[in-house]
Structure 1
Amino acid sequence: MSSVAAIPLSVLDLVPVVDGSDAPTAIRRSVELARHVERLGYRRYWLAEHHFVAVASSSSMTLIGLIAAATESIRVGSAAVQIGLHTPVSIVEAFGTIDALYPGRLDLGLGRSAQRRTEIASGSRPPTTPQPDKIVDGLLIPSPFPVEKLLGSPRVVAAYEASQFEGAQPPDFDDVVSDLIALLEGRFRHGEIPLTAVPGTGADVQVWIFGSSKRQSAQTAGALGLPFVANYHVSPSTVLEAAEAYRGAFRPSAELAEPYVVVSADVVVADDDATAQHRASTYGHWVHSIRSGAGAAPYLDPDTAPALDDEQRAIVDDRIRTQFVGSPGTVVDGLRTLARVTGADELVITSVTHDFDHRLQSHELLARAWGLEGAR
């Protein structure tokens, strides 16, 4: 692991649609945010992929190309392409097309969320086991949220089914990753026939694996010697086991001689703790709209939104308590603890507020306090 002072910061953009605005505005703001954080010295700009909800990154690979075109040097990538909704061929061709114009700047992040839904539906994945909160060397590891109910909700199932052909089944994650790497390296075969992705084969693209547990994603990333992203901002209860499983499975590769772990975090930074807490106060509402099965709703204005009731708060309590909110010093202290306890080589932060200027300020204040080169 790098020393804490030298740990790079990157950005994960969920491209949120805020209440009172629209998706085109969210996309334009993402371009502006990417340019802003590039100037500040953040290392990467990653884009999430979500469908049929109030975020504008559903076509993440298209947006990656637009962001790459609007910036100069920051690495741009997916966090993550949802395996099961895209074929390895379509992914490699899309990234190869962007790499042709912006070579050596792309991170191809892969996630197995579609396969996880299938495992839960079939009963092949064990249900979430409740456990008490823990504090590990200063880092909160909360009781896990039972994701089974969410992934089985009628709206989530309908959205997933509408995103693929009727009757389609997600392939095994290991097979997809192997095919994707073979396509990039020019050794892909369908049966006995060699096939070359044009563009795509030979593209200077770095493959990443995203995971929320100690299961297949962490094991695959380690076995193939690929960099791994452990999602504290999505599943804080399992971040330590995910990172540990990846490191335990790691085998050196042409890509990496040693494990490389990036850990994600939700942050809101303002000049003082009270202001930041107010700006972050509708984060729980947003997470509740997701976990209730309704899908991410437009992000609410903290000046007008009602407080969550006790029942709503209980559903999102783990995510609220693991968000890093406050003055620059408060958030830096929290992120340093996260990096130290997880052994992170890099942190990727997502900062969502209703007011876009507050979002720009959150990234800038953090960059200055962290000591990023462009913010000095």
Structure 2
Amino acid sequence: MNTLHDTKLSMLDLVAIREGGTTAEALVIARDTARHVEKLGFTRYWLAEHHNMPGIASSATAVLVGYIAGATSRMRVGSGGIMLPNHAPLVVAEAFGTLAELYPGRIDLGLGRAPGTDQMTMRALRRDRIETEADFPRAVSELQELLGPRLPDQKVLAVPGNGTEVPIWLLGSSLFSARLAAERGLPYSFASHFAPAMLLPAIDIYRRNFRPSAKLDKPYVMIGVPVIAAPTDDEAEFLASSTYQRVLGILRGDRRCLPPPIADYLSGLHSQERSGIADFLGAAVVGGPDTVRDGLLALKEATRADEMILVSDVFDPALRLRSLEITASFFAQ
């Protein structure tokens, strides 16, 4: 029988600011969620870099990684991800090298090549130059060198950072990072929590082209899964309307704080709007315990993922914890 017992379970937190709430409250909710899922046996807790988004409080990602790592004791904590083109590799190496020294054996460095923001904010991040396809692989190589053992002729050192060997993951929603992760022998995380269209082709390319490295001897795949679980399908759909509203706002270019749920929200939308939300959340699993279990098993069968990293944006923090508890029960040994 197909089970989830051999699949690791993790959490990706965008640190949503709720309507009527504050940034400070969002940060406390993230901390409390991390402590809760650590008790549930989650493997890692990642934070994502976004900028100029009123409803997301995770822009200073390395700072948040330290905050969550300091509030927990066992889980790995990291970035899902740092948008590398926004930063000099040396600065990233120093930040995550410092975190690795503070929390030995617990820090992950997930890297993406998107800006994580809009064009105007890109310029505010001092990204005036035009990126080429070669820039990201070159920056990854530089970061690997900065975090690795000191080379005999190495002139620039990350201090802290040098020799910490912080594990590097490549993240992606297309085929580019899948090929690069395979070429470098790095673990790969696909952003199916918001861009599921290329999930299966990207995983296939990664596995078929994987070259063993000193870091990893065989492919390792993590997939992002939006999950909202509740005692019944109807309640889960009601709670998921907060996410549906947020997704529709993203599609319209109207990014706001996480709104409270609305009964029968989808029924009031045009068919094109419902289709847009469905495409965005193509890998989502929403429902009561049986529905969620079956949905996760179907994803596992389709992808053979080694790990699932959950996104669960529920307006009520207590009901979010309940959603994660229900989901975690299917992964328990």
Calculate the TM-score normalised by the size of structure 1: 0.82
Whether 1:6 and 2:6 are equivalent positions in the alignment is: yes
Paired position in structure 1 for 2:278: 317
* Structure 2 counterparts to residues 1-376 of structure 1, below 5 A: 4-53=4-53, 54-114=55-115, 156-164=118-126, 167-170=128-131, 172-187=135-150, 194-214=155-175, 216-295=176-255, 297-303=256-262, 309-310=269-270, 311-371=272-332
The one-letter code of the counterpart of 1:173 is F
Q: Which runs of 4+ in 1 moved over 6 A?
A: none
Paired position in structure 2 for 1:141: none
Instruction: Tell me, in whole angstroms, the C-alpha distance in 2 between the residues paired with 1:370 and 1:332.
Output: 10
Deviation at 1:262, TM superposition (A): 0.6
Instruction: Tell me, in whole angstroms, the C-alpha distance in 2 between the residues paired with 1:272 and 1:82.
Output: 38
Deviation at 1:305, TM superposition (A): 9.5
Deviation at 1:273, TM superposition (A): 1.1
SS of the equivalent of 2:211 reads coil
Deviation track 1:30-63 (CA, whole Å, cap 9, x = no partner) reads 0100000001101010111111111110101100
SS of the equivalent of 2:257 reads coil
Are the aligned partners of 2:3 and 2:297 in contact in 1 as well (CA < 8 Å)?
no
Deviation at 1:320, TM superposition (A): 4.2
Instruction: Tell me, in whole angstroms, the C-alpha distance in 2 between the residues paired with 1:284 and 1:163.
Output: 30
Deviation at 1:169, TM superposition (A): 3.9
Deviation at 1:170, TM superposition (A): 4.0
Deviation track 1:90-120 (CA, whole Å, cap 9, x = no partner) reads 1110001111111110110000113xx9xxx
Deviation at 1:157, TM superposition (A): 1.5
Deviation at 1:270, TM superposition (A): 0.7
CA RMSD of aligned residues (A): 2.1
Q: Choose 297-306 or 73-82, whichever is displaced more.
A: 297-306
Instruction: Tell me, in whole angstroms, the C-alpha distance in 2 between the residues paired with 1:306 and 1:9.
Output: 30
- Distance of aligned partners of 1:194 and 1:305 in 2 relative to their CA distance in 1, 3 Å threshold: farther
Deviation at 1:294, TM superposition (A): 2.8
Deviation track 1:208-244 (CA, whole Å, cap 9, x = no partner) reads 0001122x21111001100000122121111001111
Are the aligned partners of 1:263 and 1:339 in contact in 2 as well (CA < 8 Å)?
no
Instruction: Tell me, in whole angstroms, the C-alpha distance in 2 between the residues paired with 1:94 and 1:276.
Output: 39
Instruction: Tell me, in whole angstroms, the C-alpha distance in 1 between the residues paired with 2:263 and 2:25.
Output: 21
- Distance of aligned partners of 1:248 and 1:306 in 2 relative to their CA distance in 1, 3 Å threshold: closer
Paired position in structure 2 for 1:125: none
Paired position in structure 2 for 1:148: none
Instruction: Tell me, in whole angstroms, the C-alpha distance in 1 between the residues paired with 2:294 and 2:3.
Output: 15
Instruction: Tell me, in whole angstroms, the C-alpha distance in 2 between the residues paired with 1:305 and 1:355.
Output: 18
The one-letter code of the counterpart of 1:273 is D
User: How many residues align structurally?
Assistant: 327
The one-letter code of the counterpart of 1:179 is E
Deviation track 1:313-343 (CA, whole Å, cap 9, x = no partner) reads 3432313453201112211211111112112
Instruction: Tell me, in whole angstroms, the C-alpha distance in 2 between the residues paired with 1:306 and 1:365.
Output: 24
Instruction: Tell me, in whole angstroms, the C-alpha distance in 2 between the residues paired with 1:107 and 1:339.
Output: 23
Deviation at 1:196, TM superposition (A): 1.1
- Distance of aligned partners of 1:200 and 1:38 in 2 relative to their CA distance in 1, 3 Å threshold: same
Are the aligned partners of 1:188 and 1:196 in contact in 2 as well (CA < 8 Å)?
no
Instruction: Tell me, in whole angstroms, the C-alpha distance in 2 between the residues paired with 1:8 and 1:108.
Output: 18
Q: Choose 231-240 or 60-69, whichever is displaced more.
A: 231-240
Q: Choose 15-24 or 156-165, whichever is displaced more.
A: 156-165
- Distance of aligned partners of 1:321 and 1:193 in 2 relative to their CA distance in 1, 3 Å threshold: closer
Calculate the TM-score normalised by the size of structure 2: 0.92
Unaligned runs of 5+ in 2: none
Instruction: Tell me, in whole angstroms, the C-alpha distance in 2 between the residues paired with 1:201 and 1:335.
Output: 39
Instruction: Tell me, in whole angstroms, the C-alpha distance in 1 between the residues paired with 2:224 and 2:157.
Output: 35
